[in-house]
Amino acid sequence: MKLIPRKVRQSTALVCAGLIAASAASAENIKLTVWSDPVRLPIYEAFDNARDDIDLDIVTVAHKDTVTKLQLALQAGTSIPDVVWMADVNYAAQISTRRVNYLMDLSDKVSAETVAEFYPTSNAPCEKGDKLICLRNDVAHYVLWYNKPLMDKLGFDVPKTWEEYEKVGTAAAANDSGIVSGAILANVPLLSTFLANNCNLAVPKADDPETLLINMMEPQCVEAAQMVDRMIASGALALQAPFEAGFVDNAKAGKLLMIPGPTWFGEHIIKRRYEFAPGTTGVAHPPKWSHQEEPVAWSWGGGVWGGWKDTAHPDAVVDLLTFVTTDTDVAKAAVTMPAHQPASIPWGKVVNASGYYADADMFSILLESASFGHPGYTSLRIDSRGLITKAVVNDIANGASLESLLPKIQEEFSNASKLAGYKVALE
Amino acid sequence: MTKATVQTKKTQGWKRSRRRENFASFVLLLPYLILMMMFAVFPVLYAFGLSFFDTIDYVFWGLTNYRAALDDYRLLPAIKNVLSFVTIWITLMVIGVTVLSLFLDTLKERTATIIRTVYYIPGAIASSAVVVLWLFLLEPQVSPFNFIFDLVGWENRQHTFQGLGDAWIFSLMSFVAHSGGWIVVFGGALASLPGEVLEAARIDGANRFQIAMRIKLPLIYRTVVLMTILSVSTGLQIFVEPHLIGLAGDEFVREDWSVTQLSFFYAFNFGDFGIAAAMSVLSLILPFLFAFTLIFATKFYKID
């Protein structure tokens, strides 16, 4: 005993005690690693408080790095997270391929009742054959946002159809008034304009999700493109991106009459960036084309949550996924409209109670519009946003008409879809 | 007999000391060699091996990955982009760096040192930060050079990008980032030129321009060749600039502009490390060919 100095003996004993304590703790508590963005940290805190038996280890990952880092982790076989937040619905498809098979099938783990409580079509990005590979966090379908005092002052009715939208927008922009009704020079605004008219721009075939319908020569696509071209020419549509400094300045100066945008535009863009005064912001159902029975709304974002199929604690993972998507207290504080309908009600109450919007019950418009969601808003292995950017954004910025670029869109999307392993069909 | 023994002993002694010197230089080189094996040679060999395998079940499938890489519809445009970038950038580097260095060499030493340091500063910034900086420079609304943009009538970043073209924009970015370091190297090369040669030229009545063109330039041509070789291999791997330009906004995203980006895309979007490796191996061929051609055509390692 004399051979070992006292200090060493003491510290060895301490280390041993520590190890025993640590192993005892880990036997009690399940530890889950979660990859997320910083915005969602309060949700995990709430879960941590609600569940004493589960500890969460949160790693913040930039949205764009999610897939990249996951590929590396899977390749290395270490530090693979148990739960992943995916800001882009396409990530779900990108990490559930034969090559990168990460996502857990939730179809037999989350009860059918819970799944049914989500807004119709909201979980379409998570359906892969019979499997349910993720849960939708928020719905982000398009509605029509407008400046109510300006609309009243100019004496227009809020448009119900795209034809009316064009008429009102063009009339408001007449005489170089500088009043605009949207910003078109960005990926999702372009995509949504086509898809609202049921133009087949990389829409999975209903009976065969591995076949993408791409046909830009259809009359609906041409009709949508021509409307955009006419409205750019008349100055009704700004040849800018909605978050670009110039457009934001214009909106702040009261020159934005209306803008088609997703559910989160109200809280995050119109209130915070465009700085519309309280009581100014109106919201209406998304417009429909006159030949449509009801509107079709594309979506902008609306992230999803997924779990790791090889996690050591599948039950805990499912509990966490259900909690973050359906818990009503979490929903109240959510930054966007929850995709789980019962959870979205308290959120809607909070938004309505804020008194910011022109309509005291603006939430009911968002809620009703959810049923117009495009069933083709699914998770794809192609990057639709990047593709439309590459195909048209630069060219229309420099004066090309959108109609003249339809063949380029067709080619770019067809090539990329084939590369990603899809079959491409015209109809 | 005795004479011979003495001689052998001498040779042995010389050999021993030579061996000791060799040993010492290997010891000194060792840290570098180990790092080079770990982070340069091994990854290249690993990628080379990987490029012949299917990375799902790790079965050998010959040239399938190469076929897939060559079939990619984005490959040709990407090669075109990279080549136009390299052409513009190398021209800028060779002319710009040489001219600036020769000018600096005619100034007083103190002034030249200060200016050289100023040139070097942008090179000390990581190229990712340079990209962000450039996004401001290229935005007519906030750029300090907005008078130039006014002159040509560019009102927004789209116009600037369209007006200059991606290859020129990336070339300018890279030129600013890389030229400073080479100007310092050129400064060193010019400082080490033999004074008596320059003196003789001056006495013979050569003016500054003639000295620069006829004496200095031929004496530092190896440094120019070295810069060209290293810059071409850096340039062919262009990645950071197009990858980060998307920070300017979604409409500026160029995910498939360069060949290296395609390789990145396969590895990290599709998780197909096999095709990514094949693409990387393919993109090694050109720099190799180019470097060897230049080295042998210019007798780069020949000692006069």
Show the tokens assigned to A206: 């209903």
- Phi and psi at residue A204, to the nearest 5°: -65, 140
Rama region for B125: left / alpha / beta (φ>0; ψ in -120 to 50; rest): beta
Q: For chain A, say whether B159 makes contact (Cβ under 8 Å).
A: yes
What are the residues whose beta carbons fall under 8 Å from the beta carbon of B119, sequence distance 6 or more?
Answer: B100, B179, B180, B183, B184
Q: Are the C-beta atoms of A299 and A374 separated by less than 8 Å?
A: yes
Q: Where do runs of H (alpha helix) occur along chain B? A: 2-36, 42-50, 64-71, 75-106, 109-124, 127-137, 146-152, 157-164, 166-191, 195-203, 208-210, 217-219, 221-236, 240-244, 259-268, 273-297
Given this model, what pLDDT does residue A16 score?
A: 46
Given this model, what pLDDT does residue B6 score?
A: 55
Q: B148 vs A290, which has greater pLDDT?
A: A290
Contact at CB, A398 and B162, closer than 8 angstroms = yes
Q: Are the C-beta atoms of A141 and A196 separated by less than 8 Å?
A: no
What are the residues whose beta carbons fall under 8 Å from the beta carbon of A347, sequence distance 6 or more?
Answer: A331, A332, A334, A337, A338, A363
Name the β-bridge partners of A423: A211
Residue range B73-297 forms a domain whose CATH class is mainly alpha
pLDDT at A286 over 90: yes
Strand-strand pairing, A135-136 and A304-307: antiparallel
Contact at CB, B271 and A75, closer than 8 angstroms = yes
Q: For chain A, say whether B256 makes contact (Cβ under 8 Å).
A: yes
Task: Tell me the nearest-neighbour CA distance from B158 into chain A, angstroms.
Answer: 7
Distances from the Cα of A284 to the Cαs of A81, A181, A183, A287, B45, in angstroms? 40, 14, 18, 8, 60
Which residue in chain B is spatially nearest to A392 when comparing CA positions? B251
Contact at CB, A67 and B269, closer than 8 angstroms = yes
Domains of chain A: 6-139+301-353 (3.40.190.10), 142-298+380-425 (3.40.190.10)
A138-164 confidence digits (pLDDT tens): 999 999 999 999 999 999 999 999 999
Given this model, what pLDDT does residue A406 score?
A: 97
Chosen from A64, A80, A99, A408 to mutate, greatest number of chain B CBs within 10 A: A99
- The SS3 of residue A382 is coil
B63-117 confidence digits (pLDDT tens): 999 999 999 999 999 999 999 999 999 999 999 999 999 999 888 888 988 998 8
pLDDT, mean over chain A: 91
What are the residues whose beta carbons fall under 8 Å from the beta carbon of A408, sequence distance 6 or more?
Answer: A391, A392, A395
Mean pLDDT of B190-200: 89
The whole-angstrom separation of Cα A301 and Cα A86 is 10
Chosen from A91, A390, A408, A413 to mutate, greatest number of chain B CBs within 10 A: A390
What single DSSP character describes residue A355? -
Which residue in chain A is spatially nearest to B270 when comparing CA positions? A94
Predicted ipTM? 0.79
Contact at CB, B162 and A185, closer than 8 angstroms = no
A268: closest CA among A243, A285, A246, A249? A243
A306-332 confidence digits (pLDDT tens): 999 999 999 999 999 999 999 988 888
pLDDT at A394 over 80: yes
Mean pLDDT of B152-180: 85
Contact at CB, A100 and B271, closer than 8 angstroms = yes
At position A25, the amino acid (one-letter code) is A
Q: Are the C-beta atoms of B121 and B184 separated by less than 8 Å?
A: no
Q: Which residue has the tokens 């966007």?
A: A336
A404-427 confidence digits (pLDDT tens): 999 999 999 999 999 999 999 998
Q: For chain B, say whether A345 makes contact (Cβ under 8 Å).
A: no
